[in-house]
Copies of this chain bind each other. A is one copy, B any other.
């Protein structure tokens, strides 16, 4: 079975999964400025032969992941990208190419370049088309891991447009009634602009949770809630070990009784928009997570929609929709009702207040060791210690 066969490095486990800053308590963390982290990633990537502007694209997506609190999709993964370029499993030369095109659509060959290079190319094209005819729907094959899906959807916000982004990924999710992983965590991201820079930003895996959250519970010796994962027999389990050794994540919705078949359907919908529409790898044919024995050939989908082509007053209504929800009386006074994107906004605010992004000290040390091997100056300073 196609599950989590690679060994995650220690820091991927420490800094696992889509956790806001304040979830991982009591760890020694080190404050580093965004500019420095971006520069560091650029230095490392160009040192192994990545073009300067490709390296910058990657750096921006990864740092945005960290800034938004999704450490599993940030600096923490830089070594994977460095290795992909070093081994040649990911291409460093060339640019994405449009293979087929209409006023509103395009099929792009990502030329096996870094995911963010393909993603930026496609999203820019989608926005251009949405400027012309109200919508752009662009799909790419021959792509690679592209970081947080939300990064691309959010590019549309700058043009006051709705943005969407989808990617298929290595199999980690067991379909309802099955016991084998055939779908990735296949994320859906939708961003919509409201007034004064406010926005709705949905950025969600179609699995109940990220694999990293299960790893974190396993490391702590804690059980997981019912509805996160299943054992090798396909039964919902609260034992994270069973999920990680031959089991898998379950789709959002959990068991069949609680609507897991809906998450399963959404995961397959993402596959339809990505692998199937783009003619990339799909489902169980995608290489095993963290095993880079062959080219990924991921399928990705990027959409921009121009509200100007529809009813006037879009951003006013968006702001009102967000206000309605943020102002609801919460069930528990300690946990206010949020809109999609608000937890990330809170995380960014914390970073701004602190004057940088806090990284686990071991992640910084590990990345600096990686940098040393390729002759790159370390991430600095790493003496601004903040407590978890």
Contact = CB atoms under 8 A, between A and B. Distances in A.
B178 A259 contact: no
A179 B329 contact: yes
A318 B269 CA distance: 11
Nearest to A141: B311
Given A227-B227, A277-B307, A310-B107, A330 B177 contact: yes
Contacts of A204: 262, 265-266
A268 B102 contact: no
Interface stretch (A67-75, A78-86, A332-340): A332-340
A134 B268 CA distance: 21
A336 B261 CA distance: 13
Nearest to A202: B265
Interface in A177-219: 177-180, 182, 188, 190, 192, 200, 202, 204, 208-209
A133 interface: yes
Interface in A136-154: 137, 139, 141
Contact of A102 (B133, B139, B282): B133
Interface of A: 100, 102-105, 107, 133-135, 137, 139, 141, 162, 175-180, 182, 188, 190, 192, 200, 202, 204, 208-209, 225-228, 230, 233-235, 252-254, 257-259, 261-266, 268-269, 271-272, 275-279, 282-284, 305-307, 309-314, 317-318, 321, 324-325, 328-332, 335-340
